[in-house]
């Protein structure tokens, strides 16, 4: 499989190593210095693009790939206000795979979070809050993973209607506390607490390798596909 790698920071380099180890070729690398090379001419022999950049450039990167009919796998977060436009492209035959987190463990954690939210729904004594910790270079806050977790709670708990990035005791809000420290790859904790006890679930990433492997697996899934896909499609959850 021939891959275009859009974004060549720490995550991009990790993806490159794993892709090569699995027998793929990284035919095109796009970084800050050669943005103009992301065009149909340079994408004509590419099977799939993997995009990990930043919220300001992600959408335009997707569009350039769509022009060349190249499916895109993206882990960039913070751009979701434009998701309806991407979904329109997918209905017109383009292929797009998005995940706020490509880690197998995190996606199992998403399912555990939904299940726990359903279990807690009848018990008004408990309220919930979340904490996420990432490296100081992470641009968006709260993380896309934290937002996905919050949405999982809202979808499965009838009294929760929205999330806020602040401490809250309101019955209809999910509180998210975002912290940025050192080189932490990512830690997410969801805690249900009452006056007498608390129940907490947590996922802690040790490195970027789990995220990178998931992105490469998604890329293997996407060639010649049309439509919008996510980790549930890949993992059949």
What is the set of active-site residues? Answer: 134, 138
Are the C-beta atoms of residues 165 and 147 closer than 8 Å to each other?
A: no
CA 153 to chain centre: 17
Tokens encoding 121 = 């729904």
CA distance 229 to 97: 5
Q: Cα-Cα-Cα-Cα dihedral of 19, 74, 145, 133, to 10°?
A: 60
Q: How far is CA 98 from CA 54, 76, 87, in A?
A: 14, 8, 11
Q: Which long-range contacts (CB under 8 A, 24 or more apart) does 118-125 make?
A: 118/156, 118/157, 120/157, 120/192, 120/199, 121/156, 121/157, 121/158, 121/159, 123/194, 124/159, 125/194, 125/195
Fill in the DSSP letter of residue 134. E
CA distance 146 to 149: 5
């Amino acid at each position: 499989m021939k891959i275009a790698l859009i974004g060549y920071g720490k995550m991009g380099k990790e993806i490159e190593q794993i892709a090569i180890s699995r027998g793929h070729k990284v035919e095109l690398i796009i970084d800050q210095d050669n943005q103009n090379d992301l065009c149909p001419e340079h994408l004509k022999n590419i099977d799939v693009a993997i995009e990990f950049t930043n919220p300001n450039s992600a959408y335009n990167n997707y569009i350039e790939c769509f022009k060349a009919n190249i499916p895109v796998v993206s882990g960039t977060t913070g751009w979701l206000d434009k998701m309806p436009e991407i979904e329109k492209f997918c209905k017109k035959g383009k292929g797009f795979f998005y995940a706020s987190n490509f880690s197998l463990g995190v996606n199992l954690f998403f399912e555990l979070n939904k299940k726990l939210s359903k279990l807690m729904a009848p018990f008004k004594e408990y309220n919930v809050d979340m904490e996420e910790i990432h490296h100081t270079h992470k641009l968006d806050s709260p993380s896309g993973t934290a937002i996905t977790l919050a949405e999982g709670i809202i979808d499965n708990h009838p009294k929760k209607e929205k999330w806020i990035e602040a401490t809250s005791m309101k019955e209809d809000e999910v509180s998210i506390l975002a912290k940025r420290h050192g080189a932490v790859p990512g830690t997410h904790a969801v805690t249900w607490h009452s006056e007498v006890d608390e129940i907490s679930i947590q996922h802690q990433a040790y490195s970027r390798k789990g995220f990178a492997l998931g992105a490469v697996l998604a890329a293997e899934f996407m060639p010649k596909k049309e439509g919008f896909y996510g980790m549930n499609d890949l993992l059949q959850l």
